[in-house]
């Protein structure tokens, strides 16, 4: 069968693909949107929250469509939990913007529109990168962040 003069470069035999697999929805659907910034509270204690909406068909997530409100410090909490408990290299968050919290600024500081948009975009990138990581998907903190209404900071860390 094998001709020693000219190499046999014919393709290896493979099973024909099932058409429902070929044309059906992919099994890797995962989309997280960070949108609708809202300023909560009055005066000096104000802070911004964002809507975090996840749509997925990955079996590891209990809810295929979830919607929660989160603020910047919640994202920081998630980053810290993952850095401590998982072996993954956690991507960076958008900056803390401490300067913007100082008084006597010419602009709105933390609530400047362009800043909020920049931060929103950075948070969206961050959460999409994390949620797609196979190892991060095993961490309970990620599931709590994405799919439970509020984050219980006294939770017991662990794997799903």
What's the rounded Cα separation, in Å, for the pair 17 and 28?
18
55 binds other proteins per the rule CB under 8 A = no
Residues 99-128 vs other proteins: string with x where CB under 8 A? -----------------------------x
Q: Is 45 in the site for other proteins (CB under 8 A)?
A: no
- The Cα 120–Cα 34 span in angstroms is 6
Number of H-type helices and E-type strands within the chain:
4, 3
Nearest in space to 69 (alpha carbons), one of 84, 91, 54, 86: 54
Choose, by CB under 8 A, the member of 16, 43, 45, 103 that binds other proteins.
Answer: 16
Rounded Cα distance, 62 and 45, in Å: 34
Asked if 22 touches other proteins (CB under 8 A), the answer is: yes
* Out of 11, 44, 87, 153, the residue judged to bind other proteins by CB under 8 A: 11
Does residue 87 bind other proteins (CB under 8 A)? no
């Amino acid at each position: 069968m094998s001709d020693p003069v000219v190499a046999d470069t014919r393709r290896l035999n493979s099973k024909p693909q099932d058409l429902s697999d070929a044309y059906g929805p992919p099994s890797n659907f995962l989309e997280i949107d960070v949108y609708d910034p809202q300023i909560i509270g009055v005066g000096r204690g104000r802070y911004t929250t964002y809507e975090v909406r996840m749509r997925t068909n990955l079996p590891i997530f209990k809810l295929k469509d979830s919607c929660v409100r989160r603020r910047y410090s919640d994202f920081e909490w998630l980053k810290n939990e993952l850095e401590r408990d998982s072996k993954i290299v956690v991507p960076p968050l958008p900056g803390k913007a401490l300067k913007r919290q100082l008084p006597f600024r010419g602009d709105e500081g933390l609530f400047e529109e362009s800043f909020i948009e920049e931060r929103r975009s950075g948070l969206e990138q961050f959460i999409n990168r994390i949620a797609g990581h196979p190892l991060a998907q095993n961490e309970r903190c990620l599931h709590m962040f994405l799919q439970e209404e509020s984050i219980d900071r006294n939770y017991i860390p662990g794997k799903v």
